Structure 1
Amino acid sequence: MRKLIYAMNLTLDGYIAAAGDDIGWSGPPSHELFQWWLDHEQASALSLYGRKLWETMSSYWPTGDQQPDATPAEIEFARNWRDTPKVVFSSTIDKVGWNTRLVTGDAIAEITRLKAEDGGPMNIGGATLAGAAMRAGLIDEYVIAAHPVLVGGGTPFFTALDNWVNLNLMETRTFPGGVVMTRYETRR
C-alpha cells in the first residue's frame, strides 16, 4: 500500500495562499529549503494535483530549467517535475501534459485505488483536493513548512474535519529565514 503525503509551504497562521490566491508571502526559498523540497519530490513516485496547484506548477516548471538564472537545484527540480508521473483532478480543464493524466470523476475513489497499489509514496497538493482526502482519512503524512509571516486569511492548509486526527511528530527542522518544517504521521 502506498503512502499519501500532504506537504506545502504555509504561513504561520495556517494559509497556503493569502486572500486572492496570493502566494507572494513566501518569497524565494533559501537554497537549503529548496533542496529539501527537491529531495522530497525526488522521493515521490506520483504527484496528485488539484486544478489550481496544477495550473501554478505547469505555468513554470515545464521550462524552469531553461531560465537564464536557474540554479542547479532548480534545473534538477524542473527535470524531476517533468519526469514524475502526475494525476490532475479537475472537472473544468480538458487537457494536461508533461507525464500527466487527467481525472474528471470521483477523486476519493481514484486516490483510494492508487493508495491500494504497490509503489512508492504519493504527494498530494492543492487545498480542495487535499481537504477531501483529509476528510476521507487518506492522508498518511503531513509536512508543514511554516514561514514566519501572518496573512490573516486566504486558503487554509487544513480543512474542517468531522473527526479528530491524531498525529505523531516525525521530524522538525529549521531553515534559514525562520522557516520551520515539521513532519507528522497519522496515527492509525
Structure 2
Amino acid sequence: MRKLTFGMSLSLDGYIAAPGDDLGWGVPSDELFQFWSDRVEATGLALYGRRLWETMSSHWPTADQQPGATPAHKEFARRWRDMPKAVFSSKIDTVDWNARLVTGDAVTEITRLKAEDGGPMDIGGPTLAAAAMRAGLIDEYAIVTHPVLVGGGTPCFPALDNWVNLTLTETRTFPGGVLLTRYETKR
C-alpha cells in the first residue's frame, strides 16, 4: 500500500495563502527550496487540487527556460515535469506535463491509488487534502510553518468531524525561523 503525505507551507496562524491568494510571505530559503525539490524527486505520484495545479502549471513547466533561472530552479522544474501527477477537478478539461485528469469522486480514486503498488504519494491543495483527511487517508503530515501571522486567507486545515491523532516523527529548522514538523497518523 502506498503512503500518502500532505505537505504544505503555512503561516503560523494556519493559512496557506493570505487574503487575495498572496503567497509573498512564504518565499523559501535555498535550503527550504531544496527540501521541497527533494520531496518532488521522491514522490511517486502527486495529487493536486485544481487551484494548486493552476498555480504550479502556470510556472514550473518552463521555469528552467526563463532568464536568470538558477540551477536549483532548473532542477526543480525538471523534477516537477517528470513527476507523475493526478489533477482532481470538474472545472478543467485537460492537463499536461505528465498529469492525468480525475473528474470522479476524489476519495474513491485516492483510495484506489493508495492500494496500488508504487512510490509514495503527496497530496496538495487544501480542498482535496480536506477530503482525504476526513476519509482517514493521509498517513503523514509534513508541515512547514513560516514565522508570520497573515490574519486570514485560505486555511490549511478544514473543520473535521473526528480528531486525527498524530505522532511527531521529525522537526527541522530552516533559515529565517521556518520550522518543519512531520507527523504520522496514529492508526
TM-score normalised by the chain length of structure 2: 0.98
Q: 2:16 matched to which residue of 1?
A: 16
Q: 1:114 matched to which residue of 2?
A: 113
Q: Secondary structure at the match of 1:162?
A: coil
Structure 1 runs (4+) greater than 2 angstroms displaced: none
- AA of the residue aligned to 2:42: A
Q: Secondary structure at the match of 2:87?
A: strand
C-alpha separation in 1, matches of 2:184 and 2:69? 33
Q: Secondary structure at the match of 1:63?
A: helix
Q: 2:74 matched to which residue of 1?
A: 75
C-alpha separation in 1, matches of 2:173 and 2:68? 26
Please give the per-residue CA displacement for 1:30-79, whole angstroms capped at 9, x wherever unaligned: 11000111111111100000000000000000001112222211111100
Shift of 1:118: 0.9
Please give the per-residue CA displacement for 1:118-151, whole angstroms capped at 9, x wherever unaligned: 1110010001000110011000000111001101
What runs of 5+ residues in structure 2 fail to find an aligned partner?
Answer: none
C-alpha separation in 1, matches of 2:136 and 2:80? 27
Shift of 1:20: 2.1
RMSD: 0.7
- AA of the residue aligned to 1:23: L
Q: 1:2 matched to which residue of 2?
A: 2
What runs of 5+ residues in structure 1 fail to find an aligned partner?
Answer: none
How many residues of Structure 1 are paired with residues of Structure 2 in the alignment?
Answer: 187
- AA of the residue aligned to 1:120: G
Q: Secondary structure at the match of 1:62?
A: helix
C-alpha separation in 1, matches of 2:158 and 2:122? 17
Within-5 A mapping of 1:145-160: 145-160=144-159
